[in-house]
Structure 1
Amino acid sequence: MASTRSTATAMVRDRMLTPGYCCWSGGGVGRRPDAAHRAVPDADYAARLAPLKPPPRERDWWACVMLNPRPHAHPATELRKRSPTSTSSPGTFPCCQKWNAQAVIIPQQTRELIGRSAMTFFFTVCATLKANSVYTSLADATWQARDVIALASGIAGLGFLLLIVATTIARLPPKRSADGFQPRMVALIGAFATTTFIALPPVEVAPAIALLADIIVLIGCSLSICCLAWLGRSFSVMAQARQLVTAGPYRLSRHPLYACEAVMLAGIILRNPSWLALGIATIALCFQYLRIRNEEAVLRSVFPEYASYAEQTPMLLPGLATRRKATQQLQPQ
């Protein structure tokens, strides 16, 4: 059976490579039509075919047909124009026509609506769970200093989640988004990796450490609310450019929201110290840095003034750009 199949394959291949045969727009193989049915005259056909090299033979031809799902036809097989009724591209083979369908492209407005709806639903669920936690803490509070700080921290976290929902619903349409799979995956991991903390078992810590952790979380949440309020309708999880914000906290740092979220994350780690929590936080911070780089690449491509803004403003911590510029001025030329 194998020898019969190889013999038949060789016969078909040699038949197709015969000078009088080539592939036409319908994907089939056959002898050139006569002059009455041919769109290109013989002289023109011969003139266009003369400078071309012969079609690839043996292994190259076989790899083109069997290994490439969308084979690039030899130029000699593409001389005949595509007919209006043809459904396949010139030079394609029948066995590969099922891969020739055009890819489905989702419009930008549809993708934006899907992303906005998914984010709104997710953060609404998170805000609902946080509200339930705050209500429970309020009912069980003894109104000591530690309980008051913990309650204020929970309320600040709830306010931050509600503000995310509001800005997601009212945000502006993007002017440009980062292309490719990597920026989207980096944004998702960086933004939602810390949500796995809710699955970690609670850890008992000293009351003083718990109080310090709640204070740090309260400061981080409060500053995050301030930064998000200034960012407003330009907020996005993905690497997208909507509107360049350089006022308020963004006058001191290019990404103050990420810096404040890092402060909040430090308080959460201090409240639940474990190697697993520390590993999750490290992964989240690494992806947040990649997320920053992707966002800046998009902003630089859309807003020409972002380059001068980046030279004068540090990435995360305020004051670093001024110190770096002063150090460069003090260095001997």
Structure 2
Amino acid sequence: MMQTSTPFIFIRAGSSRGPYLKRSDLPEDLNDLSKVLISIVGAGHPFNIDGIGGGTAVTTKVAMLSRSDDDWADVDYFFAQVGVEEKLVDYRPSCGNILVGVGPAAIEMGLIEPIGDVTEVRIRAVNTGALVSELVQTPGGSVRYDGKASIDGVPGTAAPIQLQFMKVEGSITSGIFPTGVTREVINDIEVTCMDVAMPMVIGRAADFGITGYESAKELDANKPLFEKMEAIRLLAGERMGLGDVTKSVTPKFGLLAPARDGGSACIRYFMPWNCHPTLAVTGSQCLASCLLAPGTVGEGILADTQHSPARLQLEHPMGKMEVVIDYEMRDGTFHVTSAGLLRTARKLAAGEVFVPGDVWSRP
């Protein structure tokens, strides 16, 4: 049987990379879509040898774009986290790093027209409902990828892309504190269950028997740590209204420690079954909010008092990520108004990706 092809753009976005496709070019049914994405990525093998995945959770991500019917947004962004060694696809979360490439990809695909030297692309994240304004460099009517902006965890420099996230509270749960409290004890350890851009379970590194300054490689080798976190994550998922999260990458897990290299705080972010080499864009917003909100496990970790908008430098295994959180207290409760970040992206390849005909055959 002949293979089935579909156009794609391959983009390094933030500190992740993956294929960007038009949603209309893919199967509508999610079961059929999952089979196609598993084949495209090559999930089910540690090296993704029969696909274009990169053998890690940050390189097995897929973005699917379409024109939006939302009154505010220009583009709908539908995200899929595909497994590495397991043939799984999770449509529950979004991904802020891959979102960085949505603006450039939408322009390259002709979904929107560039306007002036800087084009605003207004994005609706279909998975969570978040709204994001993205400023893309478009001198002469084309996306510019070269520039002088740099982000830790990515070599070289590129054109800056400014992101502003709105409606980030309760991305897929009932609210910013979906369990109704700012901190609670699960398996004898204090944690905060929080949902700002990404549902997360957040603890203090010291309470888990680590410093919080370990490398990602060191943490990945610490099997007792992951067993402890996973047991808490499964119980927290139920408390957060997410049900059985055994096979879901949400909620994610994060651990906090005081800053060591001149930043605001040190974090380690888990995806959740291994440590992120840097930090997720969505996770950065939740972790920063936890550090700012009174009553959470993050209270007291920041060395300096912060006022809105708060500009935090979060230390991660490969450097720092700056996050700007605009927040307010309403009726004694902490609320996030918006979050801003600066990232970069670069188009790596474009063309057609092929799927075996017995997996997908267009009518």
TM-score (ref. length: structure 1): 0.20
Judging by fraction of residues, say which structure has more helix.
Answer: 1
TM-score (ref. length: structure 2): 0.18
Determine which structure has greater relative contact order: mean sequence separation of CA pairs < 8 Å that are 6+ residues apart, divided by chain length: 2
Judging by fraction of residues, say which structure has more strand.
Answer: 2
